[in-house]
Chain A
Amino acid sequence: MKTFKGGIHPPEEKQLVKDNPIVDFPLSSRYHVLVQQHLGAPAKPVVKAGDEVKKGQVLSEPLGFVSVPVHAPTSGRVKEIGRIVHPVTGLLAPCIVIDADGRDEWAEGLPLERDPFAMSREELLDAIKTAGVVGMGGATFPTHVKLSPPKDKTIDTFIVNGAECEPYLSSDHRLMLEQPERVLKGAGVIMKALGLDRATIAIEANKPDAIKLMREKAPAEIQVETLKVKYPQGAEKQLINALTGREVPSGGLPMDVGAVVQNAGTCAAVWDACARGIPLIERITSVTGRGIVQPKNIRVRVGTLLREVIDFCGGLNGAAKIIFGGPMMGIAQFTQDIAIMKGTSGVLVLREEDTNITAYSACISCGRCVEACPMELIPSVLSKLGEKGMYQKAMENNLLDCVECGSCTYVCPANRPIVHFVKHLKALSRAASAKK
């Protein structure tokens, strides 16, 4: 089985939710659609309070190439352009509040019926951008940008990421099991957009049912690869290394080694966008953890409040921490009044005993983090520099190559918040370069 160097083996905990079929989250009465749900340039709202909107209608206009619009998750009336806590920054951010009218009517002309394989590369990229498709594994980088490599980069490898290496989460797993056609056809569309005739779909060995199903359904040009169960197997650079043996250079991107990686969920969204013109207004999310009464995989509209999602899953049960995403890279939340975003792959609710909120102590230089680091960095040194705020020295130690996967923090016997130190150093270096 293919894998990479380094990494860790946290308890998988997928049994809580992996066998629960996807259920539709019922229509809500009000949605809070954040304007900024992607990495990159901002977008500007194009609707105002009082406007009638239909499901799938464009709500914002992207400002720049690395930017995407958001769309109305249902039909109704715009209540206001309000502000809500952004799950990533924790600060108030603009959102479009929509009061649903309950009819859930599509915007005119949607959904379309068209053959994406008859469309040109430019038409496909335009359809993907217009539909607001972003990387759905959590990073939310606009997909059309990833599919538009500069002319001097030759792409020869396309990988569909079905690894889902984050513990607890099963949204991609359920998607591959229940809607394999959407994933495979979407992968086909991306192959066309990239001008490739082959692709690889990579799945961790802990999802044998998905691997079997994909092998049955996949056309000859899509190869299914089994990956060793190890975190962070699904991180872009580690996935490329495991499958091709290539190493993305320091400070580089996957396209520097001729590779493009797309999450399985993103492939499904690309298919909807290209074949049916349906924008990214809903996604599959695992609501899981021992702090929630009924863990579920839900198909939920973007803009649904977390509070409603938790109620739908039977409420909280001794919850100590709520995380958007998985336990390793997800972001802890301090309020339930936040909205599901395009990149919310999971809602994880942990109890006190599932967390490890203890004070940290001095680094004992044991080197476990060095062994665990999939980027071959020296996290112990970075953490010590972080304590002193010495970002220049940290840059010399390849600070910016850290992918913040959390493997070092997980293995540290001194409980040191190494990723927090790294984020701190990165913020300091950003602030210093902004000053110049």
Chain B
Amino acid sequence: MISSILLLGGIGFLAALILGISAVTFAVKMDPREKAVLDQLPGANCGACGFAGCAAFAHEITVNPEAEMACPAVNEEALEAMSGILGRSLGGSAPLIACIRCKGAPAETTNRYGYVGPKDCRAAQIVAGGSKGCQYGCLGLGTCEEVCPFGAIIMGEDGLPRVIESLCTGCGKCVSVCPRGIIQLIPKTGNYCVGCISKDTAKDMKPLCKVGCIKCGICADVCPFDAITVSKTTSAEIDQDKCQRCGLCVSACPTGVISALRVPQKVRIIAEKCKGCSICEQVCPAEAISGKVKEPYFVNEGKCIGCGLCIAKCPSDAIERIIS
């Protein structure tokens, strides 16, 4: 009994001694900043920075003072922390978010044939160019969901992928695997996305998909900021730099192919500041503002579409968004 305790304890002590000595003797010298930077990185090893993982990139950005912030997935807070650790300002690009540019769920679209084979959109694409009737539409096998390192894409019950805004870091991994180029990265501040990239004319597209862009051009007409372009053979494209997120296109689109990433916030008028100039009433496209001149105006919340045109035009800063 005693001898076995002594024997095993002795072996344990000896091993600990060897390990302890070798840990000191063979220690790899690592810049402590590197560890701190690594802690700030997302740790998903998605590879979007072009390096072999977060550790490799942390090393690069620590030892190379010229290295720029290549991680698209890092958030504002971490960026600031890393700038502090490294003692230099890391630029970083504007945060992006993925949007799915196809609304053609299986229920709305036709199939050319039944696909049997590996559950990977890229593998399905090489079989006669994919089974979906529309050659631009989502194949729905969920390769984007599979590769997303942040769990930010889930395949919805309708058979289309959905991006979870709060989790998406804009790393672009999904964009690189989608064989049909349906996923697009837009600035996180953007709110509207056209759910169709079909280059077919409306006549060719309509038999294949009930919900695609029919290139009618109404969205481009109603857009007060000239942010939308559309032609007979290109679906509507929103220029995110010009878009002011008024959302008029969403309500005007006859097929409902333009969607909002988040519900627009409605507005209210601060009665104390309002001078009753009536400009807001004139610019409101939804006829949601009414009132008497020289008295405070008020917003009918039921009608307000949250376009924010009134906020931009109000000379007395009397309109604000309702924070819910």
Contact = CB atoms under 8 A, between A and B. Distances in A.
* Chains A and B come from one and the same complex: yes
B32 interface: no
A420 B129 contact: no
A379 to B, nearest CB: 14
B281 interface: no
B135 A424 contact: no
Interface residues of B, number: 14
Contacts of A387: 118, 120
A417 B126 contact: no
Interface stretch (B109-117, B164-172, B213-221, B262-270): B109-117
Contacts of A331: 128
B120 A389 contact: yes
A389 B122 contact: yes
B14 interface: no
B203 to A, nearest CB: 14
B129 A89 contact: yes
A335 B118 CA distance: 22
A332 B112 CA distance: 12
B126 A424 contact: yes
Contact of A335 (B112, B117, B125, B127): B112
A334 B128 contact: yes
A90 interface: yes
Interface in A411-434: 417, 420-421, 423-424, 427-428
B312 interface: no
Interface in A364-420: 386-387, 389, 417, 420
Contact of B123 (A90, A91, A357, A421): A421
Nearest to A383: B118
B117 A417 contact: yes
Interface string B106-148: 0000001100111010110111110000010000000000000
Interface residues of A, number: 20
Contacts of B126: 420, 423-424, 427
B112 A424 contact: no
B258 to A, nearest CB: 28
A428 B135 CA distance: 19
Nearest to A423: B126
Contacts of A421: 118, 123
A334 B111 CA distance: 10
B116 A424 contact: no
A47 B127 CA distance: 32
A333 B112 CA distance: 10
Contacts, number: 45
Contacts of A357: 116
Contacts of B113: 332, 334
A91 B120 contact: no
A227 to B, nearest CB: 32
Interface in B186-245: none
Contacts of A417: 117-118
B123 A420 contact: yes
A334 B112 contact: yes
Nearest to B111: A334
Most chain A beta-carbon neighbours within 10 Å: one of B117, B123, B129: B123
A424 B128 contact: no
Nearest to A89: B129
Contact of B122 (A91, A332, A427): A427
B129 A424 contact: no
Contacts of B118: 386-387, 417, 420-421, 424
A420 B128 CA distance: 12
A428 B123 CA distance: 9
A387 B118 CA distance: 7
Contact of B127 (A90, A359, A386): A90
Nearest to B131: A334
Contacts of B128: 89-91, 331-334
Contacts of B123: 386, 420-421, 423-424
A419 to B, nearest CB: 10
Nearest to A421: B118
A428 B117 contact: no
A331 B129 CA distance: 12
Contacts of A334: 112-113, 128
A421 B126 CA distance: 10
A421 B124 CA distance: 10
Q: Which of A90, A331, A359 has the most CB of B within 10 A?
A: A90
Interface string A303-347: 000000000000000000000000000011111000000000000
A4 B309 CA distance: 77
B122 A428 contact: yes
Contacts of A427: 122, 125-126
Nearest to A334: B113
A420 B117 contact: yes
A423 B122 CA distance: 10
Nearest to A333: B128
Nearest to A92: B135
Nearest to A416: B118
A90 B129 contact: yes
A91 B130 CA distance: 9
A427 B177 CA distance: 12
B265 to A, nearest CB: 41
A389 B146 CA distance: 12
Given A423-B126, A424-B118, A91 B112 contact: no
Among B113, B128, B135, max chain A CB count under 10 A is at B128
A53 B298 CA distance: 75
Contacts of A389: 120, 122
A427 B179 CA distance: 11
Interface string B89-120: 00000000000000000000000110011101
Nearest to B125: A427
19 contacts: A90-B127, A90-B128, A332-B128, A334-B128, A335-B112, A357-B116, A386-B118, A386-B123, A387-B120, A389-B122, A417-B118, A420-B117, A420-B118, A420-B127, A421-B123, A423-B126, A424-B118, A427-B125, A428-B122
Interface of A: 89-91, 331-335, 357, 359, 386-387, 389, 417, 420-421, 423-424, 427-428
Given A333-B128, A389-B120, 11 more contacts: A91-B129, A332-B113, A357-B116, A389-B122, A417-B117, A420-B117, A420-B123, A420-B127, A424-B122, A424-B123, A427-B126
Among all A-B residue pairs, the 5 with the closest Cβ atoms: A90-B128, A334-B113, A424-B123, A90-B129, A91-B129
